[in-house]
Structure 1
Amino acid sequence: MNALELLTTRRSTKTLGLPVPDELQLHTILQAASQVPDHGRLTPWRFVVIQSEAGMSRFRQILLDTVTELNMGDEARAKAEKVGKMAPMVLAVIASPKTGKPEWEQHLSAGCAAYAAQLAANAQGFDNVWLSGLWVNSPLLKAAFDCNEKEKIIALIMLGTATRSPAEPKNTDVQAFTQFW
């Protein structure tokens, strides 16, 4: 698959199973993520890879404990259970801004790193979905990932192999949101 095809056909997939990237493929994903613009080589992001059975079990429990601690209710508990079983591997992308430079630019760089990781996974034949929502604000997950006060979890990229066919590519009419001068 060439770069333009990858960029114009990438889709999120929420039904993920084995296999997951092996050590070399994961290294390639992280290498691609590290090549994004980062405002003066600040590396304003870091990654946490959850891949072992023990790690995935701990991740699932943290999601459930988040629901309990924040008194989120039964609907959120069901969602936590679904998210915890969505994929056999998780790549957490954490914005880790450095002092002295605009944080918003560093957060954008972290977002680029997350997207580059997704594309690198797709390019190697793996599927994924970027999750955020209430989970990235979980104080328990932030603590488990050793986040400091300035750090923010911006993506939980669920990785694996699609167990169902991904959604069809969008037929996007760029005219609807593009202005030409």
Structure 2
Amino acid sequence: MDALTLLTTRRSSKKLAAPAPSAAQIETMLQAATQVPDHGNMRPFRFTVIESADGLQRFRDLLKQTVSELNFGDEAMQKAEKVGQMAPLVIGVTFCPNRDVPKPKPEWEQMLTAGCAAYALQLAASAQGFDNVWISGMWVNSPLLRDAFGCTDKDKIIGLMMVGTPTEHNAQAKNTDLAQFTARW
């Protein structure tokens, strides 16, 4: 798939199944994620790859424990079960502001870099024939996931990239009326 087709047709998909990307394909995704614009080469991101049966079970348990410990209720528990079963591969993307350099860049710039890394993961997965969806919501603030991902006080989980083989294709275009988003001078 050429780059422009990839960029103009990528869509999120919550209908994912096995197989997941292979170790080599995951390596390609992570390499793509580290090639994003990064003012000052700060590398303000970290990835948590959840792929083994044990890892995926631990992830599911952490989602359910989050709901229980924070008293989110039955509806949230159902959502936790759904999210936990959504994909055969989960890659947590964490923003880790880098202050350990002589001239650190503003944190907002660093967070944009981490966001670009997350998007590059998605594009690299799509380029290899896998669908994906970026999940955030209540899960990215879970103290249990933050602990499991090794977050410090300043770190922020910015997304859970759910990746797998599509079970149905969503080819519907979106945002095609550019006038509402564009000013021309």
What TM-score does the superposition give when structure 1 sets the normalisation length? 0.98
Structure 1 equivalent of residue 116 of structure 2: 112
Structure 1 equivalent of residue 61 of structure 2: 61
Structure 2 counterpart of 1:13, one-letter code:
S
Structure 1 equivalent of residue 159 of structure 2: 155
| Range 12-21 or range 170-179, more displaced | 170-179
The answer on whether the counterparts of 2:118 and 2:159 sit within 8 Å (CA) in structure 1 is yes
- Listed as ranges, the matches of 1:71-82 within 5 Å are 71-82=71-82
Report how far residue 82 of structure 1 moved: 0.3
| Range 140-149 or range 160-169, more displaced | 160-169
Report how far residue 167 of structure 1 moved: 4.5
The answer on whether the counterparts of 1:10 and 1:169 sit within 8 Å (CA) in structure 2 is no
- Structure 2 CA distance, aligned partners of 1:161 and 1:169? 20
Report how far residue 165 of structure 1 moved: 1.9
The answer on whether the counterparts of 1:93 and 1:154 sit within 8 Å (CA) in structure 2 is yes
| Range 166-175 or range 135-144, more displaced | 166-175
The answer on whether the counterparts of 1:14 and 1:86 sit within 8 Å (CA) in structure 2 is yes
SS, match of residue 5 in structure 2: helix
The answer on whether the counterparts of 1:12 and 1:167 sit within 8 Å (CA) in structure 2 is no
The answer on whether the counterparts of 1:96 and 1:152 sit within 8 Å (CA) in structure 2 is yes
SS, match of residue 176 in structure 2: coil
Report how far residue 171 of structure 1 moved: 5.2
Structure 1 counterpart of 2:144, one-letter code:
L
Structure 2 equivalent of residue 125 of structure 1: 129
- Structure 1 CA distance, aligned partners of 2:78 and 2:10? 28
The answer on whether the counterparts of 2:18 and 2:165 sit within 8 Å (CA) in structure 1 is yes
Unaligned runs of 5+ in 1: none
The answer on whether the counterparts of 1:11 and 1:166 sit within 8 Å (CA) in structure 2 is yes
The answer on whether the counterparts of 2:9 and 2:171 sit within 8 Å (CA) in structure 1 is no
Unaligned runs of 5+ in 2: none
Report how far residue 152 of structure 1 moved: 0.4
- Structure 2 CA distance, aligned partners of 1:60 and 1:153? 17
- Listed as ranges, the matches of 1:7-18 within 5 Å are 7-18=7-18
The answer on whether the counterparts of 1:13 and 1:167 sit within 8 Å (CA) in structure 2 is no
| Range 56-65 or range 159-168, more displaced | 159-168
Report how far residue 166 of structure 1 moved: 2.3
Q: CA RMSD in A?
A: 0.9
Q: Detail structure 1 runs of 4+ shifted over 3 Å in the superposition.
A: none
From 161, 166, 170, give the equivalent of 2:170.
Answer: 166
Structure 1 counterpart of 2:131, one-letter code:
D
- Listed as ranges, the matches of 1:36-47 within 5 Å are 36-47=36-47
- Structure 2 CA distance, aligned partners of 1:103 and 1:43? 12
- Structure 1 CA distance, aligned partners of 2:94 and 2:163? 16
Aligned identity (percent) is: 62
Structure 2 equivalent of residue 93 of structure 1: 93
